[in-house]
Amino acid sequence: MKMQAERLTVIEPLPLPLHEKLFDDGEQLALALARQVAADLRAALARHGEASIALSGGNTPKRFFQLLSQQTLDWARVTVLPIDERWVPAEHPRSNERLLREHLFQNNAAVARFLPLYRPVDTPEMALMPVLTKIANEGLPLDVAVLGMGEDGHTASLFPDLGHDNPALREIGLQPRGRAPVMSVRTAAMPEPRMTLTLSAIFTAPALYLHIEGESKRAVLDAARSDPRSTLPIRAALAGASNAPTLYWSP
């Protein structure tokens, strides 16, 4: 009697949830994101009289910052935090504080309050406790957070080699419900040490956005979303969020 071979069904894992808003170019994206973030800030101001937003650095968000600065709302009651900061003085070309001051703190947004991560001391570790206390007491919870992503899959200053020498650091940075809102970071991928918000701080924002541009970054994001074995920080950010983030992407 011939035995019938069993047919195995392979179930592919579903990609992590992500709302998507796709645009033809970066200009359209920047305007749409600026209008949406402004609406979120107005809603937060109406709910509790003040608002807090954390923003990522890099070249990608410059146009978004400029358009956001033109939006009409009560900016004097808005607190702005960098999601992460390189440990360089505020006047340094690689400073995210400088980036925000040059591209966001102008027009209507010139009166917004800024809550820096950098302090004029030699290392981020030396400033960690004062910064942590300041952020916890005056910056959180967030109302809006706008993340970016590098081509290596890092987000904020949470890099793939996070915790290489100290595994506890990875747990602190990527823990979605952790107690540490900020942490110091040293990575082989970048020349200077950094300070960053952790995912637990970022996830206090009910409005969470991911702003990326370009086909290569989109490929990294899609691979991380689809592969449950991925250890990239961007996957942790998508997997740990209580509400699926909204992607703003253009080629």
Report pTM. 0.93
8-state DSSP, 10:
P
* Percent helix, strand and coil across the chain, each to the nearest 5: 35, 20, 45
Q: Structural domains in the chain?
A: 19-231+238-250 (3.40.50.1360)
Of 169, 201, 200, residue with least CA distance to 185: 169
Distance, in Å, from the CA atom of 213 to the CA atom of 27, rounded to the nearest integer, reads: 11
Q: Whose CA is closest to 80, among 107, 45, 116, 129? A: 116
Residue indicated by tokens 């923003």: 55
Instruction: Express each pLDDT in 114-134 by its tens digit.
Output: 999 999 999 999 999 999 999
Q: Which of 152, 144, 207, 201 lies closest to 178 in space, CA to CA? A: 201
At 134, the amino acid letter reads K
The answer to whether 28 and 249 have CB atoms below 8 angstroms apart is: no
Check whether 42 has a pLDDT greater than 90.
yes
Average pLDDT value over all residues in the chain: 94
Q: Band of the pLDDT at 10, cuts 50, 70, 90?
A: very low
- Residue labelled with tokens 């703190």: 105
pLDDT band at 164 (very low <50, low <70, confident <90, very high): confident
Confidence grade of residue 163 (pLDDT, cut at 50, 70, 90): confident
Choose among 96, 89, 99: nearest CA to 121: 89
Q: Left, alpha or beta for 14 (phi > 0: left; psi -120 to 50: alpha)?
A: beta
Q: What is the pLDDT of residues 132-154, one digit of tens each?
A: 999 999 999 999 999 999 999 99
pLDDT at 78 over 80: yes
Confidence of residue 7 (pLDDT cuts 50, 70, 90): low
| pLDDT given at position 8 | 52
Q: Which residues pair with 210 in a beta bridge?
A: 147, 247
- The helix (run of H) or strand (run of E) holding residue 248 is strand 246-250
Q: How far is CA 41 from the centre of its chain?
A: 17
What pLDDT is attached to residue 1?
Answer: 47
**pLDDT of 13 higher than 50:** yes
